[in-house]
Amino acid sequence: MNFQLTDEQRVFSDTARQFARTELVGLARELEENDRPVPEAMRRRYGEMGFLGINIPKCYGGLALGHLEALLVLEQFVQVSPAVAFPIFESATGPVRTVLHFADESLKKAIVPRVISGEIVVAVAMSEPDAGTALTDLKTRARIEGSQIVITGQKRWCSGGGHADAYVVYARMSDVSGSAGIGAVLVEKERPGLTFGSPERLMGWRGIPSADIFLDDVRVPVQNLILPAGGFHQLMRVFSLERCGNATLSLGIAAAALEESIAYSQQRRQFGKPIVDFQAVQLKLAEMAMQVEAARLLIWRAAQTQSQELPSTLDSSIAKCFANEMVRQVTAMGLQIMGGYGFSRENRMEQRLRDAFACGIAGGTIDIQKTNIAAELIGRRFKQRR
């Protein structure tokens, strides 16, 4: 068992780190202040650099490398900010993977190359006002009428809502209750009947837009069908990779908090010496480092230990859950080390603390990851409705 990265993996990580820290620091502050997403011109630069197609096959314009390589790049961008990293998160671990795994070849060729070039963004529309954690309660319906699919419903908490160019919409496609009636359809932003609510004002993840989505008899060609009724469990299998992406968002935020805390503790002086000379600060730094490294190893294990090209539910849930809890603790310790300077918006630590809480809510809450873990250990799902 080798825990060392290959020379090629180090090159990818170092290249991403250099690009992110020389090109994106100013943009990250701008996105945070104005709550705007990465502009298309910069997304296209990501595409030109190959950052959006690392783990996508060459036939669609990707580099055909592994999930670990994609997560290494993602971590370096997240260390600058989740907002500048989000296009990579979406392309490497997000809804375009659903298209890649399950859509017809014609839809793959129409969508995937445009995503990895930075031309378009694809978001996922899963949750609804009454169906978040209880996702199988969703009410959005899709019916096939001849050569078209007609979709009606409302979606909420869509990262990219109102900004993305296309949406992977989870919908009920038959009268069968529960997961057995659920499938997925690709809906382009310009389709008549598709409208958006006001942008959400969130505690963190500024620069990652979110808004309600309203579908009023939206019609798309039947070729936009990704999975028919009964495809819910396949959709959730792909979600294992998104859990690794979410965990990497947590890891990047925490790693940046640790790095800033180490630097600050050596510069800040009190009682005539750097505060790093005080044992209380040393213990915090050590605890932060242990948690960051543990999360990193869990994520790498999940990315490398794959079944049918995807991480397992158990490994990805453990990685996400641990990383989601870890980042809240690490950023809180980082803020405490910096004291009033950490609490000030002139520095980045307070933003990292706010961003940290989003990860354990998005993509399945911390508590749901724990029920996933228990279910995998026991070998059966637990019926919450009984």
Q: Please give the CATH topology (third level) of the domain spanning 233-378.
A: Butyryl-CoA Dehydrogenase, subunit A; domain 3 (1.20.140)
- Does the global pTM surpass 0.75? yes
Query: Which pair of tokens denotes residue 171?
Result: 């919908």
Measuring CA to CA, which residue among 241, 242, 40, 57 is closest to residue 121?
40
Nearest 5°: phi and psi at 315?
A: -65, -40
Domain-wise residue ranges, the chain = 7-116, 122-229, 233-378
Q: Please give the CATH topology (third level) of the domain spanning 7-116.
A: Butyryl-Coa Dehydrogenase, subunit A; domain 1 (1.10.540)
Q: Mind listing the pLDDT tens digit for each residue in 153-170?
A: 999 999 999 999 999 999
Q: Mind listing the pLDDT tens digit for each residue in 67-126?
A: 999 999 999 999 999 999 999 999 999 999 999 999 999 999 999 999 999 999 999 999
Question: Residue 308's pLDDT is what?
Answer: 56
Establish whether domains 122-229 and 233-378 are of one fold.
Answer: no
Q: What is the CATH number of domain 122-229?
A: 2.40.110.10
